[in-house]
Structure 1
Amino acid sequence: MKKPLIIYGAGGLGREILTLVFLLPEWEVVGFLDDNVPKGSMIKNIPVLGGLEALDSMEKIPHIILAIADTKIKRKLANQLDTYQVQFPILIHPSVVLQEPATIKLGIGCVLCAGTILTNDISIGDHTLINLNTTIGHDSSIGNYSSVMCGVNIAGEVNACPLVYIGSGANVLNKVLLGEASTVGMGAVVLENVQPFKTVVGVPAKEI
């Protein structure tokens, strides 16, 4: 019997995660939550149940996954959902390659999308999104609530602190430290540490 799952976020990322869940035999999406989409709307034939307040009327809280790329909003929602004692699954697309699974730690609520490759001795934090066709090298860590977008290459021994956002097509070289809530722009090549709350863009990446 499949377990019921709610996706929090009815936008494009929510629809992408829905198609991921279709490939996982243990889960069935029973609805979306979204604070900005009218209750009763249908997304791919799945109803929007309302916003956060919809949980107040549920007798049993199903599992929830956050389909939110904005790292700060994601953290806020996760903290709010903790008051409901929500359980957060780990979703892994069938095409994901975990080269040495025993040495890879995945936090609650993290999502690994199609084409992702993780080598060995890697830590992925709670509620972290690793989007399509991303590679992560040995001894790297990605902190809680982070979002790594499509086609990113993260080399070995990279340390990304919580709330980091890495734009599509970026490259982060070996032993780089990405400070808390820092942002790496699309296509950037990061050769040096990035300070907390700062944004870097370009080749090589420079702070703006």
Structure 2
Amino acid sequence: MKDIAIFGAGGLGREIALLIQQINEAQPTWNITGFYDEQRFTKDIDGFAYLGSVKELNEVGSELNLVIGIGNCKWKQQVFEKIENPNIKFPTLIHPSVQMRAFQRCEIGEGTVIAQNVVITTNVKIGKHVQVSPASTLAHDVEIGDFCSLMYAINLAGNVKLSRGVYIGTNATVIQLLEVGENSIVGAGAVVTRSLPANCTAAGLPARIIKTHETPA
């Protein structure tokens, strides 16, 4: 059993703890040591210890696997950039219900979490520290950049490209051959029918840009 901790003690982090326990039911792999978070906790989190902030994480003296359980793409990247400890490793976590075989020719980066009942077809490329939430579908030749967050039941059609730091809200769809630019947000339930530029928020059916921002939201 290998030690693993979660950074982020909110809802997503606690869901990742559940996912790890479900992985262990299929094949004992991980020993959850607890949660790190910038917010201080005085009691256990779903039965697991609060271990400290980034400061304490950077002081860990032996190898520790860590997954960043933060949905906000900007905050997720900021936490990663603050971790300077060479003892920290970032494993890829895939729920046992997800079918992944070599003949699918898929690539998945370190620190990425793929939750239960996600469908991934063929030639899909997923970057580092990506969250793919339950019941989502990634069709052929999809490319997902680092630090993206895909919420529940989203659908990416064939040849969709998400650039770095894209957030896709619950039950949203991006149709085939489209691109969503870096640091953009697609609102819950939206249907993207045209490519979106970087640094925007789009919502609706069809999705329309409702906001632009110069830096990651």
Q: TM (normalized to structure 2)?
A: 0.91
Residue 29 of structure 1 corresponds to 32
1:54: Cα distance to partner? 1.1
* Contact persistence 1:10–1:37 (CA under 8 A): no
1:51 to 33, 53, 65: 53
2:97 to 82, 95, 98: 95
Look up the SS of the partner of 1:37 in the other structure. Answer: coil
Residue 69 of structure 1 corresponds to 71
AA partner of residue 131 (structure 1)? S
Cα distance in 1, alignment partners of residues 113 and 37 from structure 2: 18
Residue 205 of structure 1 corresponds to 207
1:100: Cα distance to partner? 5.6
Runs of 4+ in structure 1 over 6 Å off: none
1:98: Cα distance to partner? 3.0
* Contact persistence 2:73–2:149 (CA under 8 A): yes
Residue 161 of structure 1 corresponds to 163
Look up the SS of the partner of 1:64 in the other structure. Answer: strand
Look up the SS of the partner of 1:42 in the other structure. Answer: coil
Sort the Cα spacing of 1:11 and 1:160 in 2 relative to 1 into closer, same or farther, 3 A: same
Cα distance in 2, alignment partners of residues 9 and 98 from structure 1: 27
1:158-197 to structure 2, matched below 5 A, reads 158-197=160-199
Flag structure 1 segments of 5+ consecutive residues without an equivalent: none
Alignment length, in residue pairs? 205
Percent identical among aligned pairs is 34
* Contact persistence 2:190–2:205 (CA under 8 A): yes
Is the counterpart of residue 15 in structure 1 residue 14 in structure 2? Answer: yes
**CA RMSD across the alignment:** 1.2
Is the counterpart of residue 84 in structure 1 residue 68 in structure 2? Answer: no
AA partner of residue 69 (structure 2)? A
Flag structure 2 segments of 5+ consecutive residues without an equivalent: 211-217
The worse-fitting range, judged by mean Cα deviation, of 158-167 and 19-28 is 19-28
AA partner of residue 35 (structure 1)? E
Look up the SS of the partner of 1:54 in the other structure. Answer: helix
Cα distance in 2, alignment partners of residues 56 and 74 from structure 1: 16
* Contact persistence 2:184–2:198 (CA under 8 A): yes
Q: TM (normalized to structure 1)?
A: 0.95
